Structure 1
Amino acid sequence: MTLSAAANSPDVVGLFDPATHTVTYLVADPATGAAAIIDPVLDYDPAAARTSTGSIDRVLNAVRDRGLKLERVLETHAHADHLTGADVIRTRTGAPIGIGEKITRVQKTFGDLFEAADVTPDAVVFDETYADGARFKLGELAVEVMHTPGHTPACVSYRIGDAVFVGDALFMPDYGTARCDFPGGDARTLYHTIQKILALPEAMRVFVGHDYLPQDGRTEFHWETTVGEEKANIHIAGRPEDEFVAMREARDATLAPPQLILPALQVNIRAGALPPAEASGKRFLKLPLNAI
């Protein structure tokens, strides 16, 4: 757990989940204690098909220990590599869940894939949906929502004071950028998203959604950088648009699906709720054969 802060900017606690390489953020206004949780993780053991709440407990303990008031749970997108803890947090605290308005496209694609009769592509399972440029307050801090598609069509970033939380659009400069081969993803779209992020002030703090260790380089995980440092990102620096697209598409063609993609998307299109129980009271996740 790390804490970073600057005058007139949010306090940011990053909590790294080693099982999925996900970073959950606790973001707070220093003046009022108003807080948001970004991209929480519901722990899942695929061998046992069992969920647990260690990661959720950890972030909620951080809220309590700092005397913060949790106002929102924010999702950058419907993740394919971890189950979201958003619904558990909403149930425990009453905090509403917000996500980009294009989530309906993802719900349609994967609701159909899983033949999930309870999933309607209208985002009603979320409490708030945000258009590009939407604004709201976190205490005294202004929050701006930026539509940042490419990895998925529904990805958003949250600009909060001098910080921007970019989800999977960018990783640390020595690791690169997100894959674009999920349904609705597009490498050319991601290129333009990245240019949008890089147009922000160079000193702006950038908080990435995951970290992975480069094959040759550092041995510790990091998740905070700056816009200026991201201009030297190994996938971006010196690469014009067509070259970036060719690199990204060639790289994506070599990547296996994320280990948790099938359980994760079934849960995440439901805002973190598990599939409805059968008559027996049991809940089931589906494995559509030869579908991805």
Structure 2
Amino acid sequence: TARGGLGVNDNKFNSTVFLLTGIPGQEDVHLWISIPFCLIYVISIVGNSVILFIIKTDPTLHEPMYIFLSMLAITDLGLSISTIPTILGIFWFNSREISLDACFAQLFFIHSLSFIESSVLLLMAFDRFVAIRDPLRYASILTPPRIAKMGLVCVLRGVALIFPLPFLLKRFQYCRANVLSHSYCLHQEVMKMACSDITVNSIYGLFIIVSTVGLDSLLILLSYVMILKTVLSITSLAERLRALNTCVSHLCAVLLFYTPMIGLSVIHRHGKGSSPLLQILLGYIYLLVPPLINPIVYSVKSKHLRARIIRVFVK
């Protein structure tokens, strides 16, 4: 129905669905393209579930570092599950339509889980800082109740900041040809489909990015500066390398998460002339690669975890 002074002729644009995009120009081979996507999902879900199962069932792994790792695995699982229906729907059944409500629900989960992941990466940086700076008091600083409170704050922050977005989007009138450039819904893209004034959404979106990703990445950088200072004060070279080695997997997780996320944000805000394919590729990397690679990196780098995983599968 036409509302808000739109003429009868505009009815066809005042759509109640958005159209998602797979990989433009490759529609004929979508079924083949779905094979790597399925593999990525299977490996992500199995990898993160195995890590969760092993950390839960092995009492020797109930240490702060592994508790934070299990938080990361839960968030990665959530991110994978929230994008599966629409991505595989496009590649398998060519179902590109998504209702406004389903789209708003999906973007709520994608954004809140992304910001929770950002917070968890910050907690993991703090964990590494405490472990290297004050190893003797490590267990007494990061006690399970304290870790639980930190985890709860992360979840509440992610959910509270994203909660208004679906409601802010719902009040808009959508009368453009509602084709989104990804296989899932993102706030910065959906708001551009509105033919209303999006200033509030734009400012609020920028505020969220700065107060989560901006702040977290700055604090992670700061904790690594402090870690480096501590490491350089250690006299033995072997000890230095050992201390730095405990940070490698976390650094990989940080780079994997922030690089495509910041790239995608910049392209959506300023990349008017950027290649659509680059935007689509970054979108897939941002949501699919961290859940896939994180369990692999941590299993390879942590001897303890690796030994437990081998024992489970060799049994």
TM-score, normalising length from structure 1? 0.26
The structure whose residues are more often strand, as a share, is: 1
The structure that has the greater radius of gyration is 2
As a proportion of its length, which structure holds more helix?
2
Higher RCO structure, 1 or 2 (CA under 8 Å, sep 6+): 2
Q: State the TM-score, normalized to the length of structure 2.
A: 0.25
